[in-house]
Structure 1
Amino acid sequence: MGSIRVDGLTKSYGDVQAVDGMTFDVDRGEVFGFLGPNGAGKTTTLRALTGQIRPDAGDVRVLDCDPVAAPIETRRRVGIVPERGSPPSFLTPREYLEFVGDVRDLEPEYVRERTELWSDRLGFCSKLDTLHTDLSRGQQQKVMIAQAFLHEPDAVLIDEPLANLDPLVQEQVKRFLVAYAADDNAVFVSTHNIDVAAEICTRVGIVADGRLVAERTLEDGLGDGSGDDSLLDVFLEHVDPDETRDVPSLERVEP
């Protein structure tokens, strides 16, 4: 049984079937890429995994926790990086990480050590005592990544991990995620970026219209996704723009 498990997940919003019988699992040692176009059901699935919504049907487990029945325990044990999440504007990064450490019952000295480690790793040491309202979106994203890994969780759930980061930090984060999974942890990455998925994932699930339509195992993380059977080829083979919500036509537009 995987560290992250989704079995028959179904969720509707009115007449819209956002997720339709989604099933997959993520084992330790994997970077699992959840790849799909806008409107495919990625965000709804991630919200179910983090306990933000109650599924209509199906079962969801993260580290044997039911995120709906025990959302606080799930968030205490799991690392979560939401795509549009941001720290409270009235706190500094140091204060926010201290708060996160307190919620997760971490020793203050351990939190201080981890704060120094992550602020140095991601390059926001000079901003530790600056209010978040005065930080750039990229600096806020760095803090959100730091809080997710502060307690060295066995599983992390990340939505668009490289959003708002500069190229140097992007490369560092990609390499860290690959190494973190290799250290017997489960990493779930939701993205619409095929290049990112091809580079860092050991396995990719392709999502369209609320369903998992294909899976592909990649030999190694940090690959280039090239070749006759590239991830882009697999994606285009299984995602039909004529049958998928919110996907533009691929037909050539004449000038």
Structure 2
Amino acid sequence: MFIDGYAQGNPYGYNDLDEAYLTEMKAENARLTKRIQSQPEPFQKMNTEATYAIRNKDYALALQIALRMETAYPKNADVKNFKGKIQSKNGDASVAVQSFSEAVRLEPKNNWFYINKATAEAESGDIQTALKTINTLIAQSPDWSIGYNFKAALLHSMNKDAEALTAYNDAVKVKPESAQIFTNRGDLYLKSGQKDKAVQDYKAALAIQPDYERAQAKLNEIAQSTVSKKDR
């Protein structure tokens, strides 16, 4: 199958995916496996070739295989998505946007295709279009916290922290519960000087996932800062 990480991407600005995110990504990879297994033998053979190319970090070859697959199966959304991932890996985010757009057009109910498309749009510098893509995702999947978290990250990158906070508030009301989301909101609270609310969010993150390192690190920083001030 297309190996893990190529069914969907690491959302914009997230370098510390938590268990909630990883569980969602694994679930999509499992669905992808079933979709691939339902394809004809030539498709599966090319898919295996692509998998080996990626494992060998031969992304040029992987892209060649993706293009062959696209020629043979022009209406397969997973192939379009895979091609976009390879293009992004090769640093061609603006080109990848078109591939992800085609994936969304062919399979508009796949949430991760929107995530990948918005990620490529943001990485190519088009934050406004990325925000529109995520708003479309949220409209169709209003109970998915990952969409709101992505929206908040985009808004924060635009220095719209009040709107970002609203998006985080929406995110924590729906599933999956995410240590990352609470930590992200805590960071925003901390930035605005609301330390008590930040501490509450970091603790909430650790209640969801006790080993989530960023939340614990933030609590340690706050504690150390408080001790230092008392020692002055």
The higher relative CO (CA closer than 8 Å, separation ≥ 6) is in 1
TM-score by length of 2: 0.41
Task: Name the one with the larger helix percent.
Answer: 2
- Greater share of strand: 1
